[in-house]
Structure 1
Amino acid sequence: MYLCDKAKHAGWLCFPVLRRAGADRRPVLPTMFLQAMLTRKGCLYGYANADILFDESLAYSLESVLSSKVLEESALDDQPLFVTSRRTRVKNVTRSDAVDLVALRKKCEEKGVMDTEWAEDVFITSSNFPWITLPDVVIGLASYDNWLVLRANELSRRTVDIFETTLVVHQSTETDDLDRVRKVDFYNRRLITNMYGAYNDQRGRLLCTYFISN
């Protein structure tokens, strides 16, 4: 409750996790989106892993996406919008780095490493994205992120990677790669395969979105 109280004090709304799945009962991503949509009416809804930091460039990028004439002309207005981004991995981000955007950007320039096109920790969609139809994939485990980009491309031509214009910082540690190996769990892949059949992760890389920001 301590973190929830701090978040509320900073102006955030906090909700209990309504649905969990998998062996270690992780939060179900589609349910998180649906809960937010029922609580607040808006044009965009988003999720990012807890170890991700942004600066104001996220807002500028999303404003540009929403006002893009290219996106308007590329697809029917009723097609859902799906936005994601590559991330910059920065080791040992301090508390002072996290609250000082100038310091954060400087640390990214000096020590940041652009992650591969396989790593996706940010998902932002329009309210008409059909989260209710998707399987109960859970956050923090492999295989759902690339499939989600693949599925978004099947549903719409309005898929955008905003990494060129957005600072997305992944707070990394020396043990990240080891921790990732230790928690290999194929819950998401089994779930998706049972529902949709086998799929190719390569079709869900960040290079596969229809558009990139610039």
Structure 2
Amino acid sequence: MPLLTLFTAPKPFTDPHIRMIQDNMLRNWQALGDEVEVVVIGDEPGIAEHCQELGLMHLTGVRCNELGTPLISSIFALAREVSESPFLVYANADILFLPDLLDAVRRLSGVKKRFLAVGQRWDMDIDAPMDFSEGWEQELLARIRDEGVLHTPTGSDYFIFPRACFQDIPDFAVGRAGWDNWMIFRARWKGWPVVDLSEVVTVVHQNHDYRHLPGGLKHYYQPETGVNVRLGGGRRTIFTLHDVTHVLNADRLQRKRLDWSGFWREVEIFPLIRLHSRVLGWLFFALFHPIKGYGELRGWLAEKLKHRNVN
């Protein structure tokens, strides 16, 4: 039985650069070996043909929203149904891994029954098909050292968790912002360790533009991002890698060391994640960020007034 199931929901294979990036991704995941089961989900053009060519499992019938965007809840459910591995890994369809992913999952499995593992990525411009024959790991590492740019701890491109976790996910739109932040928030809400793997897992993001999205706008500015945030419980659920609880390094898994800003961040979110009070969570946020809190309150009141006038 594989150690983990690595699954994704690719974009259409119609744009030449996106097609190349996603082909690199699929071949990279295959190169990780027999301990990884790769599952590709979606009905977008070109997915079926690529999966057939590479001999990968392809699942169709994913549920979509009214705009035709696949839903995270359906993607996760489909992957869980066909896999038997003890760990699931969702990653965006432009992400490359190295074998250190497997080492990290093995180490975590020995110390934690429930957890969420995330980490930073290296951004790279990749403009040609990649070779994943023997020795590819060393070549990719060398290229990362020469060309890679470490992304800030604000975005999450992969999520590792035991299969018993995350069985109740809202109908988030894939490829839009907000749902990845909710994953970290939800783990903190549940009291699961959120582990930063940045020191031990090397992840590459293949840079691309946003021509595939409506209007060519980045996912942050798509209307579905606002829907994602609302489904997740509002802006207070926007958690990032700054909100992890543990760090896995070369020696061991340890609690994250808090600096001054980290300490006050934990105080700020305490009523939300420990007391499970959204009201107190907002009040504490407003206490720490009075200007933003006042702005959010004005926005909320304006929306309520607008809704009342419409009705």
- Sort the TM-score into its range (normalised by shorter chain): 0.7 to 0.9
1:111 equivalent in structure 2 = 147
Which whole-Å deviations, capped at 9, do the CAs of 1:159-196 have from their partners, x for residues lacking one?
A: 212111011000014x469x874442142433442563
Deviation at 1:101, TM superposition (A): 2.3
2:82 equivalent in structure 1 = 39
**Which one-letter code corresponds to 2:86 in the other structure?**
C
Larger radius of gyration: 2
Tell me, yes or no, if the aligned pair for 1:53 and 1:98 is still in contact at 8 Å: no
Q: Map 1:193-212 to 2 at 5 A.
A: 193=230, 196-201=233-238, 204-212=239-247
Equivalent residue in structure 1 for 2:116, among 82, 86, 90: 82
Deviation at 1:84, TM superposition (A): 1.5
Secondary structure class of the residue paired with 2:236 = coil
Q: Map 1:162-181 to 2 at 5 A.
A: 162-173=197-208, 175=209, 181=217
**Which one-letter code corresponds to 2:224 in the other structure?**
Y
Instruction: Give TM-score scaled by structure 2 length.
Output: 0.57
Alignment pair present for 1:143 and 2:143: no
Q: Which runs of 5+ in 1 are unaligned?
A: 72-76
Between 116-125 and 11-20, report the one with greater CA deviation: 11-20
Deviation at 1:9, TM superposition (A): 5.0
Alignment pair present for 1:95 and 2:129: yes
Secondary structure class of the residue paired with 2:204 = strand
Across the aligned residues of Structure 1 and Structure 2, the Cα RMSD in angstroms comes to 2.6
Instruction: Give TM-score scaled by structure 1 length.
Output: 0.81
Change (3 A) 1:22 1:213: farther
2:187 equivalent in structure 1 = 152
Distance in 2 between residues matched to 1:193 and 1:84, nearest whole Å: 23
Alignment pair present for 1:4 and 2:48: yes
Distance in 2 between residues matched to 1:11 and 1:51, nearest whole Å: 19
Distance in 2 between residues matched to 1:158 and 1:195, nearest whole Å: 20
Matched residue pairs, number? 199
Which whole-Å deviations, capped at 9, do the CAs of 1:140-174 have from their partners, x for residues lacking one?
A: 1112211221121111332212111011000014x
- Identical aligned pairs, as a percentage? 21
Q: Which runs of 5+ in 2 are unaligned?
A: 1-44, 250-311
2:298 equivalent in structure 1 = none
Deviation at 1:5, TM superposition (A): 4.3
